[in-house]
Amino acid sequence: AQTVTQSQPEMSVQEAETVTLSCTYDTSESNYYLFWYKQPPSRQMILVIRQEAYKQQNATENRFSVNFQKAAKSFSLKISDSQLGDTAMYFCAFTPSSSYKLIFGSGTRLLVRP
């Protein structure tokens, strides 16, 4: 079975500091995609960052970057210079390359303190 595990139900960080959210996944697929989605209180899921498994280089999007360790099946999200607007639920998600569905983790609630 393909699963995504987020072991940190809640995290807290001071504004302007750096925080890392953890994610591990289990699959026998060799080609797949990984995502981090943000869900603020408005409920709308927003894509934060996307990583293709065949790319060794870690994806970055402004203040957001990932540490993708394919052998360890680990995909952590680092948020630098945290801002109050980063307060949200963060979901790690996985999809095999030929699939029609996203498999989500249970989420990490991030609180950025002023």
Partner 1 sequence: ETGVTQSPTHLIKTRGQQVTLRCSSQSGHNTVSWYQQALGQGPQFIFQYYREEENGRGNFPPRFSGLQFPNYSSELNVNALELDDSALYLCASSVGGRTSYEQYFGPGTRLTVT
- Which residues form the interface with partner 1 (CB under 8 A)? 4, 33, 37, 42-47, 50, 91, 93, 95, 97-107
Q: Amino acid identity, residue 92?
A: C
How far apart are CB 58 and partner 1 at their closest, in Å?
A: 18
Which lies closer to partner 1 via its Cβ, residue 50 or residue 63? 50
Question: Which of 45, 111 has the CB closer to partner 1?
Answer: 45
DSSP the chain: --EEE---SEEEEETT--EEE--EEE---SSEEEEEEEE-TT---EEEEEEETT--SPPEETTEEEEEETTTTEEEEEE-S--GGG-EEEEEEEEETT-S--EE---EEEEEE-
- Closest approach, Cβ 16 to partner 1, in A, equals 29
Q: In whole angstroms, how close is the CB of 32 to partner 1 at the nearest point?
A: 9
Q: Could you tell me the smallest distance in angstroms from the CB atom of residue 15 to partner 1?
A: 26
